[in-house]
Amino acid sequence: MKRHSYYFFALIFTIILLPFGSYTQDRPDTVTEVWEPVPPVVSPGEAGAPPSDAIILFDGSDLFGWEGRDGGDAPWEAVDGEMRVVPGTGDIRTREGFGDVQLHIEWKTPSEIRGSGQGRGNSGVFLMDRYEIQVLDSWENETYPNGQAASVYKQHIPLVNASRRPGEWQSYDIIFMAPRFNDNGRVIKPARVTVFHNGVLVQNNVEIWGNTEFIGLPSYREHSMEEPVRLQDHGDLIRFRNIWIRRL
């Protein structure tokens, strides 16, 4: 073959093959594949058990991760794998602070019904020490709906009442996004919360209006990016177990 025809055929082959090469690199379906970051591997654990990357706040043995309202040891009891409110001793809170989280907590109101409305099996899970997801025996127990179990207290009524009977264990799975404040301490992004009550969606990414208030309207007051989880002593014999949290 003459030299000039060799170059000619090489050129033709290159022109024919070029699109195939670029096709494998830029196939239209691969353009939208995102390969990084690769999510860390997490073992989900057996049913009811915490996932492998969870911070265990209460595993049934002790209250070391908790403190009382004066900052001393938590005055509640750890008995038979449960954390029990000791009425009159006050709220307890985690020693560690948290911001954006997934929180799992199980709770039980007394099987013997005493009191009514807000006076029946009342406690609460306060995110960042100030935003309450209500704990209440809401099995056939009338009260204002924005104060029943799984309400964002006095802010958001739960979508449904997924309560179990008194004396049965119940669960909350909470996804909470902390509020953001600007340099002047004004809220620029309100907190948001999603709650599953016994696996049922009851709060769907609702906006929290500010600090939980018993009297008056809620409003935001600046706080740090990480604040404790607080559990309420409302004078009732509430029990908790299997409490774990994941930073988001």
CA angle 17, 18, 23 (to 5 degrees): 100
User: Minimal distance in Å, beta carbon 122 to Mg ion?
Assistant: 5
| Closest to 195 (Cα-Cα) out of 115, 95, 113, 125 | 125
Looking at the Cβ atoms of 148 and 232, the one nearer to Mg ion is: 232
User: Quick one: 81 or 235, whose CB is closer to Mg ion?
Assistant: 235
Query: Does 121 help bind Mg ion (rule: CB under 5 A)?
Result: no
Determine the 3-state secondary structure of 49 from DSSP.
coil
If the CB atoms of residues 109 and 232 are measured against Mg ion, the closer one turns out to be 232
Q: Considering only the stretches 70-78, 93-101, 117-125, 203-211, report the one whose residues sit in contact with Mg ion under the rule CB under 5 A.
A: 117-125
Length, in residues, of the chain: 248
Q: Could you tell me if 114 and 134 are in contact, meaning their C-beta atoms sit under 8 angstroms apart?
A: no
Of 75 and 124, nearer to Mg ion (C-beta) is: 124
State in angstroms the smallest separation of the CB of 164 from Mg ion.
18
Contact between 158 and Mg ion per CB under 5 A? no
How many CA within 13 A on the CB side of residue 16? 6
DSSP secondary structure letters along 96-107: S-BSSEEEEEEE
* CB 42, min distance to Mg ion, A: 32
Residue whose Cβ sits closest to Mg ion:
124
State the Cα–Cα distance between residues 217 and 4, nearest whole angstrom: 88
Q: Report if residue 124 touches Mg ion, rule: CB under 5 A.
A: yes
Footprint of Mg ion (CB under 5 A): 122, 124, 232
